[in-house]
C-alpha cells in the first residue's frame, strides 16, 4: 500500500440489539466511550447510528447532537459521519442530522432489496439529502448497495448535487443486495476509476463477510470499515 488506509468504525449499526450481544454500545455514553477506545486504537472515522430509549433505531437529531458533542470532546480530530439510513423513516427525519454539520453523512444513492424489505431511497429523497449536505458543507459518503448506485453517484456529480472528488462505500454481504464477492468488488473499483476519476472508496462487509471484505479492500489500497 502506498498511502495510509483510513480505518473507520461503525460502533452501533442499525440492527444489533443488547439481547443479541450485550457488548453492543447502545446508550449515548456507551457510544462515546467505545468510539473513544477505537480512536485510541487508531480509528480515524466513526459512523454513527442512534437508538431511542427502547434501543430501537431512530433518526432523532437531538441524539445525534449529543453523541457528536461527546466525540468532539473525547476524540478531537476524529471524522464524524452520521447515518442518514432509516428503514421506514421519512425523508425529513432521515436528513435531520445533516444540519448538525458533522464532517460527513452517509447517502444511499438508490434503492435495493434487503432480506425482507425494500431499502427505500427514491430519487427525490436522494436529491433532497444531497442538497442538504451541500448546503451544510457536509461531505457525503455515497453508500453503494448495488451497481446502479455507482452511476447514480456520477449523475449527482453531473447535476451539481455533490462535489467532486466523490467518496463512496461499497457495501457487500446484505442478503438480496450485492454479495460479498471479490469479483464484484474488483469490477466496482474498475468502474469507479473510469466513471468517477479521483474518487476515494472504502468497503464494508456486512455479517459473515466483514473481515474478508476489509482484507480485500486494504489489499487494493482502499479504506476499510470495521
Strand partners, 142: 107, 168
Q: Which is nearer to Zn ion, 82 or 154 (CB)?
A: 82
For residue 10, give the C-alpha cell.
461503525
Asked whether position 220 contacts a second copy by CB under 8 A, the answer is no
- Interacting partner of 121 out of Zn ion, a second copy, none (Cβ under 5 to 8 A depending on kind): a second copy
CB 139 within 8 A of CB 133: yes
Interface pick for a second copy out of 82, 138, 146, 196 (rule CB under 8 A): 146
Beta-carbon contacts of 96 under 8 Å, excluding residues fewer than 6 positions away, are 59, 60, 61, 64
Beta-carbon contacts of 22 under 8 Å, excluding residues fewer than 6 positions away, are none
CB 100 within 8 A of CB 61: yes
For residue 93, give the C-alpha cell.
427525519
Least CB distance from residue 190 to a second copy, whole Å? 8
Asked whether position 74 contacts Zn ion by CB under 5 A, the answer is yes
Least CB distance from residue 156 to Zn ion, whole Å? 19
Q: Which of residues 141-200 bind Zn ion (CB under 5 A)?
A: none
Least CB distance from residue 139 to a second copy, whole Å? 22
For residue 147, give the C-alpha cell.
451497481
Asked whether position 223 contacts Zn ion by CB under 5 A, the answer is no
Q: Which of 167, 173, 169 is nearest to 212 (CA)?
A: 173
Three-state secondary-structure class, residue 201 = strand
Beta-carbon contacts of 144 under 8 Å, excluding residues fewer than 6 positions away, are 109, 150, 153, 168, 169, 170, 171, 188
Q: Which is nearer to a second copy, 122 or 160 (CB)?
A: 122
- Interacting partner of 3 out of a second copy, Zn ion, none (Cβ under 5 to 8 A depending on kind): none
Q: Which is nearer to a second copy, 25 or 95 (CB)?
A: 95
- Interacting partner of 89 out of a second copy, Zn ion, none (Cβ under 5 to 8 A depending on kind): none
Strand partners, 223: 202
Asked whether position 117 contacts a second copy by CB under 8 A, the answer is yes
Asked whether position 36 contacts Zn ion by CB under 5 A, the answer is yes
Interface pick for Zn ion out of 12, 35, 59, 83 (rule CB under 5 A): 83
Asked whether position 115 contacts a second copy by CB under 8 A, the answer is yes
Residue 173 to residues 8, 12, 182: CA-CA distances in angstroms? 18, 18, 11
What is the helix (H) or strand (E) element at residue 172, kind and residue range? strand 167-172
Instruction: Give me the residues that bind Zn ion (CB under 5 A), please.
Output: 36, 74, 83
Instruction: Give me the residues that bind a second copy (CB under 8 A), please.
Output: 110-113, 115-118, 120-124, 126, 145-148, 151-152, 155, 176-179, 181, 183-184, 187, 191
Amino acid at each position: 500500500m502506498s498511502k495510509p488506509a483510513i480505518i473507520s468504525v461503525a460502533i452501533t449499526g442499525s440492527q444489533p440489539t443488547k439481547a443479541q450481544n450485550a457488548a453492543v454500545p447502545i446508550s449515548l455514553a456507551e457510544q462515546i466511550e467505545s468510539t473513544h477506545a477505537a480512536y485510541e486504537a487508531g480509528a480515524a472515522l466513526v459512523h454513527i447510528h442512534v437508538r431511542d430509549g427502547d434501543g430501537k433505531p431512530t433518526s432523532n437529531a437531538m441524539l445525534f447532537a449529543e453523541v457528536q458533542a461527546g466525540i468532539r470532546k473525547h476524540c478531537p480530530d476524529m471524522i464524524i459521519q452520521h447515518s442518514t439510513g432509516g428503514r421506514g423513516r421519512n425523508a425529513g427525519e432521515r436528513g435531520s442530522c445533516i444540519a448538525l454539520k458533522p464532517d460527513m453523512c452517509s447517502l444511499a444513492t438508490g434503492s435495493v432489496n434487503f432480506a425482507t424489505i425494500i431499502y427505500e431511497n427514491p430519487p427525490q429523497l436522494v436529491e433532497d439529502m444531497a442538497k442538504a449536505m451541500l448546503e451544510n458543507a457536509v461531505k457525503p459518503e455515497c453508500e453503494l448497495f448495488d451497481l446502479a448506485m455507482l452511476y447514480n453517484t456520477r449523475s449527482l456529480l453531473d447535476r451539481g448535487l455533490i462535489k467532486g472528488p466523490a467518496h463512496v462505500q461499497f457495501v457487500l454481504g446484505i442478503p438480496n443486495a450485492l454479495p460479498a464477492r471479490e469479483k464484484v468488488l474488483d469490477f466496482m473499483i474498475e468502474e469507479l476509476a473510469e466513471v468517477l476519476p479521483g474518487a476515494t472508496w472504502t468497503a464494508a462487509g456486512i455479517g459473515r463477510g466483514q473481515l474478508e471484505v476489509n482484507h480485500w479492500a486494504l489489499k487494493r489500497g482502499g479504506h476499510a470499515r470495521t
